[in-house]
Structure 1
Amino acid sequence: MAGVAADMTTIGIIGAGHIGSQVARKAVDLGYDVVISNSRGPETLADLVAELGPKARAATPAEAAAEADFAVVTVPFGNYRDLPAEPLAGKVVIDTNNYYWERDGYYWERDGRIPALDAGETTTSGLVQEHLAQSKVAKGFNHIRAKEITTDGRPSGTPGRRALATASDFPEAAELVTRLYDEFGFDTVNVGPLSESWRVERDRPAYVIRQDAAQLEANLAKAPRTV
């Protein structure tokens, strides 16, 4: 099947908001089967699934996790402990999360304050990996605006092709993200282990800007540890 990474043909998507729905749209275009879920129940995804077509179906988070060859989790970070750990065991999990702490009363600053993140002692994806201890977590799709996932991709070798970052403690997880990024139309910069994934999170130089691989590497290098 053209466009499908190795034998990983079914993506379980946990979280059907802006990022999850855009990943689903691009994935079905590439020939993936998509099982998509949210916290409100499969019936609330009827319109999205109808748009996506026969390659997609709605499910509960546990069902999406169980049916997935690999998963994309894109839930509000404060809810990461609700991710179904057992059906994701042994699987690559692409974590799109960012830490949106409370600031100045903005409604979208949703996650409260997490002292270990504020102090630079861990990372969002590191905490997801702790929760999903039997999974292979990789950072992905966290520093691109959702709508650009389906509009900014270009063929491999295109001059100035946009690059996205990944990080993982498991080489095979980073390799899967790299293949998926390429299929979606993006180059990859591998940041290294999850302990370095803060470099691409919000309020850092690489966050939600268009950049090629060289520019992304430069922005990652100058990122401050805490903001």
Structure 2
Amino acid sequence: MRIGIIGTGGIGANLARKLSAAGHAVRIANTRGPASITELAAESGVVATTLDEVHRGVEVLITSIPFGRVPDLKPIGDRLPDEVPVADTSNYLPSRDGRIEEMDSGTPQAVWIERQLGRPVVRAWNALVQTTLADKGRPPGAADRLALPVAGTDPAAKKLVMGLVDDTGFDPVDAGTVDDAWRMQAGTPAYCTELNAEQLQKALALADHDAARVRREAILAIIRSWEPSDAIFEDIVALNRTAAGLHRLLGPFRPSDSGASPTTRRTPGCS
């Protein structure tokens, strides 16, 4: 499949690597231009291109940029054929994106993104930390395979993106329409908690809209209080599980529960 990706951060770059390794033809762009992507292109076999060209000839476009910058992509979305799905990986983080009134009043993030782009969107790969994407994909049927939620209103577009989630090493779980996509936002039991498909389905059902917003603010405050040298992605997963009360459903969290690799110290956060 011909895939375009906008964004070369922790999620976008790892998606490029995974999807290229799965046999897809991947084009990738960012705001800094192709010269900034040469190392990633050489390593992964993707094609580095410009924002003006990344959408040309693709069968799906993946946007993986900070949430607050999504409106900047509308000109690209306007040039994309109607039949080409858009999948978005971003999350609203007020400390980075600034306060967005619609988000703070409860509008689902996927609904807001669709309004900004003026076209349907599928939500995927937003509910995981970047090391989960990089290190914990497994072949279909593996006992320790994790799952990811996917939400979208167009059945065909959602099916296509779910297939790509499978190609990146995770079981796709249907999380409903864009109106249901709040169940996979920050602060919910499904967000950055590294669950298998059965557990994830239960976690999506446990989501509480008001509680999620409170948890999100508390979790982000805790993460911001950590020293950068102590910013461990496994700790972020454990924090999200604990805040959501998943110990009642899953038992005490241990890194080995999800096939965790050795502790890695990097900058914290999901996409």
Residue 172 of structure 1 is matched in structure 2 by 156
Matches within 5 A, 1:1-227: 9-53=1-45, 56-83=46-73, 84-90=76-82, 91-101=84-94, 109-120=95-106, 122-134=107-119, 136-226=120-210, 227=213
In 2: Cα distance, 1:195 partner to 1:69 partner: 24
In 2: Cα distance, 1:140 partner to 1:115 partner: 23
* 3-state SS, counterpart of residue 139 of structure 2: coil
**Contact 2:19–2:164 (Cα < 8 Å) also in 1:** no
* TM-fit CA distance, 1:160: 4.4
In 2: Cα distance, 1:127 partner to 1:207 partner: 19
* TM-fit CA distance, 1:67: 3.2
**Contact 2:18–2:167 (Cα < 8 Å) also in 1:** no
Where does structure 2 lack aligned partners over 5 or more consecutive residues? 214-271
* 3-state SS, counterpart of residue 165 of structure 2: helix
Higher strand share: 1
Higher helix share: 2
**TM-score (normalizing by structure 1):** 0.86
Q: Which residue identity lines up with residue 42 of structure 2 in the other structure?
A: A
Could you say which structure has the larger radius of gyration?
2
Residue 219 of structure 2 is matched in structure 1 by none
**Contact 1:19–1:74 (Cα < 8 Å) also in 2:** yes
RMSD, matched Cα? 1.4
Q: How many positions carry a matched residue from both structures?
A: 208
* TM-fit CA distance, 1:66: 2.2
**TM-score (normalizing by structure 2):** 0.73
Where does structure 1 lack aligned partners over 5 or more consecutive residues? 1-8, 102-108
Q: Which residue identity lines up with residue 115 of structure 1 in the other structure?
A: E
* 3-state SS, counterpart of residue 12 of structure 1: strand
**Contact 2:6–2:51 (Cα < 8 Å) also in 1:** yes
* TM-fit CA distance, 1:143: 0.8
**Contact 1:88–1:132 (Cα < 8 Å) also in 2:** no
> Aligned residues: percent identity?
37
Q: Which residue identity lines up with residue 12 of structure 1 in the other structure?
A: G
